[in-house]
Amino acid sequence: MPDVVYRDKYTRRVIRLKPEEKLVTISFTPGGGQEVARELANAGLTIRLAATSSTATFVSVEGLDSEQFGGHSLAALPQVVGWSSVFKDREGGRHYVVPGQLDIQFVDGIIQARALGLIRELGSRVISEGGTPGFYSVSLPPGKGLSETIRDFARLDDVEFAVPSLLGEAPETGPSDKVACVAGSGPATAPPKRRASIDSVQREPCFGKLWALHNSGQTIRTANGTIICKKGVDIKALDAWRITLGRRRVVIAVVDTGVDITHPDLAQKFLRRGCERWNFVPGEGPEPIDTDGHGTQVCGVAAAALNGIGVVGVAPRCCLLPLRVALNGLLGDRADAIYHVTARAARDPARKYVINLSWVMPCDYTGVRRAIDRALSAGALVVAGVGQSKNGGSGVDMKATPAYPASYEGVLAVTATDQNDEKGYIVDFGRQVDLCAPGSIICTTDLGGEYSFQTGTSFAAAHVSGLSALIWSLDVGLESETIGRILKQSADPIDQQNPDFVGKLGAGRINARTALCQALALIELGASRRPFAKSRKLPREL
């Protein structure tokens, strides 16, 4: 299959995608998955990725390239709709191209009839319409290839960008390391007192396992062994909570696999959904019901309730907005979820939104890039984990292999540290990193009302999102850029503990105590849009 070459109209960059050897994506009719999977297994092919859209199911398999699959008997199966090469870009990103279609974003304000007319004029048909206004996935016209069709649409003044339709890649996860957290004596749904004491925080049943919030040098036993924590290596949450536990006017939007909506540590934390659709997985209902666990785990780190049950999150009195996407689904669905937050922020300017993206895409995708740009313009703060190497070792330098969306301009890129302030095992690093946060052996909420230990930059990002929400709770008049500067200027440097990664772990590991004190000093000066110095008046450290 030839290279795919086109000019990305949004970024103004020329994109050249080269087909990978022995890797092909196949689309087939919904409901035909079992038979196709059986035939692939009989042919000795390995399924690398499986995904579903509203109109088709997809698998990427190793062992054949696109041309070889076209000549194979598998291509004649009645369930098979089409196939395409998997491509690599110059940055090493892998493009799981959806066979036979592309994504079109029309300019703001275009009339639907006009957009549909232009699609028909170029010989395409609408496959699906996205949740972002003016976004369509359309078919390739008969007899035309992907590069040519992208160029034809990009020439139109009414088109903002035209790019291949792409699939995401779900992260590899092992079995959860479950934790027994015995509930306290209070009722599960009882809200905390207006001014909860530090003692009440420490009475959360699993608080002793939350070394990232308060590290007393405790020993933590997990199914995989025992870790001994280095006293004082934490984000100083107890000191920060003397200042604020958060406000419901500040919302942490978690774009992920959804949430366990009945979890006793999360059920009282959500915004009112009303008639809104919080589920962006095609074919599912409107509720963001988590079937994977990842989104539930991220939500718990950021904002689990202070209620005498299980754990407590960094921002226990801030709201959660859980939006469900399929991490192995269409990347356009993630863009729609991010746009949903932007639209909410425009309708409700009294609230402030932190958008948590605890996932990495297999490559750059213009739809998500544009959605983030719009969210930033609307005043939201966007936080993303940088991910981890699939090949083990010490991780990958982002200079050689950028991680998206963390590498997009304006996004706070976060990597993970452990209980000794050392860079987490196999997590990525680089000068593009903005901050570090705890992300190793993190006790958090899980499916079925349970709890587990988790590791990765997903949970480091959730700590940063929670702290961002605490800072905003002091003054919703602060700008998102100011929040970012506070986080960086207040971080504790950890280069000395990481001599092999000097200058590649951002400003350091977040410090909630210092961050809130700097924010208070800034607010008192009434200078939220000007540079500031560190405050010398800090609460007594516990």
Q: Which residues are identified as catalytic?
A: 256, 294, 458
Do residues 364 and 95 touch, judged by C-beta distance below 8 A? no
Tell me the torsion sign for CA atoms 498, 503, 505, 509: positive
The type of residue at 322 is P
Query: In Å, how far are 105, 336, 340, 351, 375 from 345, measured between CA atoms?
Result: 21, 14, 9, 7, 8
3 state SS of 252: strand
Give the CA angle between residues 177, 181, 186 to the nearest 5°: 155
Packing angle of the helix pair 457-474, 512-525 (nearest 10 deg)? 30
Do residues 62 and 45 touch, judged by C-beta distance below 8 A? yes
Question: What span, in angstroms and rounded, lies between the C-alpha atoms of 505 and 433?
Answer: 6
Q: Supply the DSSP string of 161-223, one letter for each residue.
A: EEEEEEE--PPP----EEE-----SS-TTPPPPTT--HHHHHTSTTGGG-TTT--SS-EEEET
What φ, ψ does residue 148 adopt, rounded to 5°?
A: -65, -40
Question: What span, in angstroms and rounded, lies between the C-alpha atoms of 468 and 491?
Answer: 13
Question: What span, in angstroms and rounded, lies between the C-alpha atoms of 138 and 155?
Answer: 16
Question: What span, in angstroms and rounded, lies between the C-alpha atoms of 143 and 224?
Answer: 56
3 state SS of 380: coil
Element (H, E) at 369: helix 366-377
User: Within 10 A of 361 (CB to CB), how many other CB atoms are there?
Assistant: 23
Give the CA angle between residues 61, 325, 336 to the nearest 5°: 110
User: Whose structure tokens read 């996004």?
Assistant: 411
Q: How many residues does the chain have?
A: 542
Q: Whose CA is closest to 364, among 106, 35, 92? A: 92
Question: What span, in angstroms and rounded, lies between the C-alpha atoms of 508 and 372?
Answer: 24
Residue 499 DSSP symbol: G
CA 352, 358, 359, 360: dihedral to nearest 10 degrees?
A: 80
* Peptide bond connecting 2 to the previous residue in cis, omega within 30 degrees of 0: no
Q: Give strand ranges (E) for 398-529.
A: 412-417, 435-438, 442-446, 450-454
Q: Whose CA is closest to 101, among 57, 144, 165? A: 165
